[in-house]
Structure 1
């Protein structure tokens, strides 16, 4: 299977580590104990520096060799210092945030005590890195349905985006990522590329505050959903709406034009519905015949059933704003409405 984990030619190792769990495709370093930030950087092969280098353009019309290279003002290439790999082109105001700074950001959130680095790695040539860290404590739904609390951070060195930190709950029983934003409450913070340490620390505490409030609120919401029944026909209708790829499909659903629906879409709905009714993790008291179960049906389908080209594609789809995250957010919103208004919300 294809993957896009960076392979370091110098160390002959994949730039990825994981605690205890099997790393992507058997690649990377698997460690027994949660590492410190310094150890995590070494394990994941993220111990490289990035710098900005001046750019020049070649003037092909010049007759003089000396004047062929023309400096390009206000733009720079970002590149690794260990192997010279070029990542991208950035402007003069772009500030590089080194990989080590991303871990300092995490450490500062809880004063370096209690944060548990679980995975970290580099993609492509090393232009994008990601870190997942587990926070202390759990969200409890019902008596024994536990959700672990994670912070996911990703940043790039090619100018393609800001540093993004997201609070991401993961249901233990099925390793299901319950990634959603709530009304009037975000679970994501985006940080501009700046080398200002004070701003970084201030933002880190903001993230921790968001994680704490979001954790309490999402736990309250899931427990309410776990007590709210939903019938099988209502569940199927919710899945149909949540998995609709566009407005045309939604119109056809509303008008009852079943023949206008594609076979691919119908098959996906069937797969999600089957997962909802037959997967063992859907047979617990918290999920069986409940709104919480309906939400887990959609998210669990993408986590455990849907086939992706590779694990980077899965990561992008579920965590980085791709199709899985979009459909899961729609399902979350539908479940919220159903919990309040019942069947009327599915018309």
Structure 2
């Protein structure tokens, strides 16, 4: 099976998806670009087609309203997009962090390419950190990701990672994610995004206060099952016969993780609390949810259905302390 993750680099411990090339800490942007597979550019050319004529090959014509994006190194096609589509280069994603790492104390931790170049990202520690009861450590990150196939706007997301299990959760306030999204119909202004991110990162204390409140909210057995039912059994397709079986497996899994089989489930902050409920869902999405491969899991957990499921889990958890 072809891997979704074409290349990836990381520092420190091996990421939860167990992929990538290990780098020493505090490497240059150029070193990151080479080892993360991001040292190439997205090129573009008008869509061309052959206008057939009887008895000959015909003429090569251009369709200027559309353009083909392709890799500069392999010449492999990436996508066909509209003529006004604004490209964000892989190196731009890494360059976004240059002043943040050199001046503001951020540290790049992972970066890489998904789907043969159609998506790419970089993740950096912000230096923010909170400790919940039982030495349950949560650290702050910024995830910057984009695509060149129309599946993802250029998105900067303040993200938390629970150290004991490497679960990822987007920072959200008042039920809304703090992600800053720049559609490809407009140019990517890194300075403007960083200004907006400054506001989002400043919400760390407010977000972690809510997580601390979740860790102090004791949960009864019937509440835990109701929570998991609300999070896992909300389906847009009521006619999907297999959905019930999928949800039943998922329910048993998260319940078991919550009741002591999950990573860090025994810690004081998680044992028998609303924080433990949320952690069971995030661990399930990041580590246990069925996926064709670890590469598909990371794509889902950060950008797809898994990310949506974790956001729903957070929303329902916050309702328990509202």
Q: Give the TM-score taking structure 1 as reference length.
A: 0.82
On the 8 A contact 2:172/2:207 being kept in 1, the answer is no
| Bigger Rg, which one | 1
2:22 aligned with 1:33: no
Q: Give CA-to-partner distance per residue, 1:215-249, whole Å, 9 cap, x none.
A: 12210101111111111221122112211042787
Q: C-alpha distance in 2, partners of 1:28/1:149?
A: 21
User: Given that residues 42 and 87 in structure 2 are in contact (C-alpha distance below 8 angstroms), is that contact kept between their aligned partners in structure 1?
Assistant: yes
Equivalence for 2:131? 140
1:1-347 superposed matches below 5 A: 3-6=3-6, 15-22=7-14, 28-61=20-53, 63-65=55-57, 67-109=58-100, 112-142=103-133, 144-179=135-170, 181-183=172-174, 185-193=176-184, 199-213=189-203, 215-246=204-235, 262-279=244-261, 281-322=264-305, 324-340=306-322
Aligned-partner Cα distance in 1 for 2:102–2:12 = 24
Q: Distance in 2 between matches of 1:102 and 1:46?
A: 9
SS at match of 1:201: helix
**Aligned in 2, Cα 1:275/1:184: closer, same or farther, shift over 3 Å?**
closer
Count residues in correspondence: 318
Q: Is the 8 A contact 2:16 2:287 kept in 1?
A: no
SS at match of 1:22: coil
C-alpha spacing 1:295/1:264, structure 2 compared with 1 (3 Å) = same
Of Structure 1 and Structure 2, which has the larger fraction of its residues in helix?
A: 1
Distance 1:24 1:248 in 2: 31
For the 8 Å contact 2:101–2:108, the answer to whether it is kept is no
User: Equivalents in 2 of 1:296, 1:146: separation in Å?
Assistant: 12
RMSD: 2.7
SS at match of 1:57: strand
Structure 1 SS opposite 2:172? coil
The unaligned stretches of length 5 or more in structure 1 are 7-14, 250-260, 341-347
For the 8 Å contact 1:109–1:205, the answer to whether it is kept is no
Structure with a larger share of its residues in strand:
2
Question: C-alpha distance in 1, partners of 2:202/2:142?
Answer: 11
